[in-house]
């Protein structure tokens, strides 16, 4: 083969290589969603109202699936542990019909005992201790399963009660309970029907934390706040997510607040629908807020979307901190929970 032919082949090969890389690059760029600036979205959120919330369209099936038949299919979490796919951009390019998802009950606690008993230690564990919890909280969290004198968490009359009490342990002037589910889930709908404590000082929460800190310590591996309420501002319910990019430490957390009437005298259903690209927050099956990271960045990473790993559920009543100074003559305040139900969709499980 003569030298000129060799040079031609070499040049043509290099040209092809250049074309291929250019094509790959431009294809990737064109598939990315349009960038929306964070500031404009923030403005939308802070000025938005709940005038026309969207109703959870398949709520009927949720209220009718509570049968013993479906309960016997309760899952083992091992079958739900993810094989997380590495994506160029997280929370993008998932293809599913949000209005056609079938949800199956995979975990629940109905707290059905009529006589006073302890919460199931198979389903729940206690996080104990005092010292403020990094938020200047005043309570000491007890473990009723190892000391039955502590009744901060109890089941009876068909309900779980988490009661904060004026009761001294060490330097802590109040006691309470913080219960974590032993199971964790990746994606799904989590329903908690609850009646909240009232009055200054109380800070009940229904929220989720990562089973493993895959992306580092708080807030990098994420936090999902299904419901927070502080007794200094009754009937204002907060939904939030925290991540490395968005968290209250740097004042960037993504939050939505709405008014829910009679939170401490009536039960309400607090829910999230956690999907591979968004988290939707509901009260009484009405959608109030959606966190979708692509509203803020075109190509989310774990900094905006660490929510692709299993999370567990936490139920607690804190005293002090964001809840403020407890009101005078505080004796005790209770969060009453009728049930916790966790549903997952086979369609979502299959694509994740």
- Name the residues that contact Ca ion, by CB under 5 A: 110-111, 158, 338-339
Q: At its nearest, how many Å lie between Ca ion and the CB of residue 160?
A: 8
Q: Is 228 labeled as catalytic in the residue annotation?
A: yes
Of 32, 104, 137, 228, the active-site residue reads: 228
Distance CA 231, CA 327 (A): 9
Task: Report the alpha-carbon distance of residue 107 to residue 190 in Å, rounded.
Answer: 9
189 bridge partner residues: 273, 343
* Nearest distance in Å: CB 155, Ca ion: 9
Could you say which of 223, 273, 302, 333 is catalytic? 223
Q: How far is the CB of 192 from Ca ion (least distance, A)?
A: 11
When the beta carbons of 159 and 187 are compared against Ca ion, the nearer one is: 159
Length, in residues, of the chain: 352
Min separation Cβ 200 and Ca ion, Å: 29
Spatial distance between the Cα atoms of 69 and 77, rounded to a whole number of angstroms: 19
Nearer to Ca ion, 155 or 272 (CB): 155
104 or 338: CB nearest Ca ion: 338
Whether residue 114 is preceded by a cis peptide bond, meaning omega within 30 degrees of 0, is: no
CA distance 348 to 277: 11
Output 32 or 110, the one with its CB closest to Ca ion. 110
According to the 3-state scheme, what is the secondary structure of 30-46? HHCCCCCCHHHHHHHHH
Cβ neighbourhood burial of 308 (10 Å; 0-12, 13-18, 19+): buried
- Please give the positions annotated as active site: 223, 228
């Amino acid at each position: 083969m003569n030298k000129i032919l060799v040079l031609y082949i070499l040049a043509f090969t290099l040209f092809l290589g250049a074309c291929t890389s250019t094509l790959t690059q431009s294809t990737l760029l064109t598939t990315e969603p349009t960038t929306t600036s964070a500031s404009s979205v923030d403005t939308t959120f802070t000025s938005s109202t709940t005038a026309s919330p969207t109703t959870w369209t398949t709520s009927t099936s949720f209220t009718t699936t509570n049968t013993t038949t479906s309960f016997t299919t309760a899952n083992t979490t091992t079958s739900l542990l993810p094989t997380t796919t590495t994506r160029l951009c997280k929370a993008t390019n998932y293809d599913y019909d949000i209005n056609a998802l079938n949800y199956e009950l995979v975990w629940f606690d109905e707290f059905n005992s009529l006589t006073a008993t302890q919460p199931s230690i198979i389903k729940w564990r206690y996080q104990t201790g005092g010292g403020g919890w990094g938020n200047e909280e005043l309570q000491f969290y007890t473990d009723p399963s190892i000391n039955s004198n502590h009744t901060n968490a109890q089941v009876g009359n068909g309900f779980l009660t988490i009661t904060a009490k004026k009761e001294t342990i060490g330097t802590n002037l109040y006691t309470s309970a913080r219960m974590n589910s032993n199971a964790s889930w990746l994606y799904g709908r989590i329903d908690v029907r609850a009646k909240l404590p009232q009055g200054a000082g109380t800070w009940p929460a229904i929220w989720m934390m990562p089973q493993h800190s895959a992306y580092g310590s708080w807030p990098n591996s994420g936090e999902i706040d299904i419901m927070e309420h502080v007794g200094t501002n009754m009937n204002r319910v907060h939904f939030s997510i925290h991540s490395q990019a968005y968290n209250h430490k740097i004042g960037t957390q993504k939050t939505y607040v709405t008014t829910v009437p009679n939170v401490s005298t009536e039960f309400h259903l607090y829910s999230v629908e956690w999907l591979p690209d968004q988290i939707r927050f509901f009260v009484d099956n009405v959608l109030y807020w959606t966190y979708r990271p692509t509203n803020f960045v075109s190509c989310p990473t774990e900094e905006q979307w660490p929510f692709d790993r299993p999370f567990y559920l936490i139920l607690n009543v804190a005293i002090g901190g964001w809840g403020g100074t407890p009101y005078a003559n505080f004796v005790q305040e209770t969060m009453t929970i009728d049930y916790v139900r966790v549903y997952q969709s086979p369609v979502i499980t299959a694509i994740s």
